[in-house]
């Protein structure tokens, strides 16, 4: 991985390591539950899970672009967009990612890819229509910070492990209760053990969900900070955040619903006006928190700190 001029974040690095370690434990618990319930299918399930993990890791960029109806564009097709990315690469010493555009009115952007050489930065046509070049530079610097910090690959794996653990637990629960458990109804000790494994697996899945969301919120703040310091224009990023959040509230609910599956990877979540959810379940920190951090960085830069 090439080194860049993006500000490093030890807090993000430590959180990624802890999250992956704990999710590994979650996965072990889920697999253990599957072996208890349906041992005859356990190895097949593990093999299928491994194939899906490898596919998601190596082809996440293509799958995400396909799902978002995005396409890679050349400098001739989108000269202004490529020009902004080129400026950020020059400032950060980062390899240039592929540049893509998704044809949707939802104003947003995201980065995908397992490393800098395979990275893709995608913006929507809705974002291009609404932001000026300086604001767009802040958004793209934010997305490219995700690639430089390697949290795109970590989030891809973390999301998969959580989903896989949940699916394995659900299948194990169904088969265990409707198959194995019914056959062992006279054995109360076995029944209690099975129920304990199910409960532990469900708890493990809940923990994995919380860990992934907590990491997602922190990485957004880290990318905001890195982008603001790199460009020296935290006010431009703050303006883009404010504008995008305001515009998203005007997008039809049906369009937002189709994009919400990618909230963890978006610049800002595709949530409609009036949407309320606990901060524990959010993929992004609140707008106020992001703006407060950018305001603090602006003050530090003005003092030369």
* Range of lowest pLDDT (22-36, 56-70, 238-252): 22-36
> Quick one: average pLDDT of 130-155?
93
Q: Is 76 a catalytic residue?
A: no
Does the pLDDT of residue 58 top 70, yes or no? yes
Cβ neighbors of 125 (< 8 A, separation 6 or more) are 101, 102, 103, 104, 105
Which carries the bigger pLDDT value, residue 236 or residue 283? 236
pLDDT of 274: 46
Closest CA to 264 of 64, 69, 59, 71: 64
Would the pLDDT of 135 be above 50?
Answer: yes
pLDDT in tens, 208-255: 788 888 899 999 999 999 999 999 999 999 999 999 988 876 766 555
What value does the mean pLDDT of the chain take? 80
Residue 278 has pLDDT above 60, yes or no: no
Q: What is the pLDDT of residue 184?
A: 46
Which of 19-33, 35-49, 251-265, 269-283 tops mean pLDDT? Answer: 19-33
Sequence spans of domains, the chain: 10-270+277-303
Sheet of 120-124, strands arranged across: 70-72, 98-102, 120-124, 109-112
| Centroid of chain to Cα 9 | 17
Q: Binding residue per annotation — 149?
A: no
Q: Which of 80, 143, 247, 299 is catalytic?
A: 143
**Tokens 């619903």 belong to which residue?**
257
- Reference 149, options 15, 288, 289; nearest CA is 15
Tens of pLDDT, residue by residue over 79-120, are 999 999 999 999 999 999 999 999 988 899 999 888 888 899
Give the residue with greater pLDDT, 261 vs 100: 100
Handedness of CA 75, 76, 78, 84 (dihedral sign): positive
In the prediction, which pLDDT does 152 show? 87
């Amino acid at each position: 991985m090439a080194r860049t001029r993006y500000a490093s974040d030890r807090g993000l690095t430590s959180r990624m390591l802890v999250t992956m370690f704990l999710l590994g434990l979650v996965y072990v618990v889920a697999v253990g539950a599957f072996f208890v319930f349906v041992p005859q299918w356990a190895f097949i399930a593990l093999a299928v899970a491994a194939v899906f993990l490898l596919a998601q890791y190596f082809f996440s960029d293509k799958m995400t672009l396909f799902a978002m109806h995005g396409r890679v564009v050349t400098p001739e097709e989108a000269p202004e967009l490529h020009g902004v990315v080129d400026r950020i690469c020059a400032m950060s010493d980062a390899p240039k990612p592929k540049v893509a555009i998704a044809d949707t009115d939802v104003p947003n952007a995201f980065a995908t890819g397992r490393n800098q050489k395979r990275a893709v930065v995608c913006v929507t046509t809705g974002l291009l229509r609404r932001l000026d070049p300086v604001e767009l530079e802040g958004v793209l610097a934010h997305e490219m910070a995700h690639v430089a910090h390697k949290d795109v690959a970590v989030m891809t794996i973390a999301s998969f492990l959580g989903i896989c653990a949940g699916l394995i637990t659900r299948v194990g629960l169904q088969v265990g209760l409707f198959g194995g458990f019914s056959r062992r109804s006279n054995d109360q000790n076995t029944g209690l053990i099975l129920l304990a494994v199910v409960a532990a697996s469900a708890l493990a899945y809940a923990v994995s969900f919380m860990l992934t969301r907590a990491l997602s919120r922190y990485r957004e703040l880290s990318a905001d900070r890195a982008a603001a310091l790199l460009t020296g224009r935290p006010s431009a990023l703050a303006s883009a955040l404010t504008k995008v959040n305001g515009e998203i509230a005007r997008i039809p609910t049906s369009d937002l619903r189709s994009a919400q599956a990618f909230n963890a990877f978006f610049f800002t979540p595709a949530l409609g006006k009036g949407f309320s959810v606990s901060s524990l379940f959010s993929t992004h920190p609140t707008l106020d928190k992001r703006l407060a951090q950018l305001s603090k960085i602006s003050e530090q830069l003005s003092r030369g700190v």
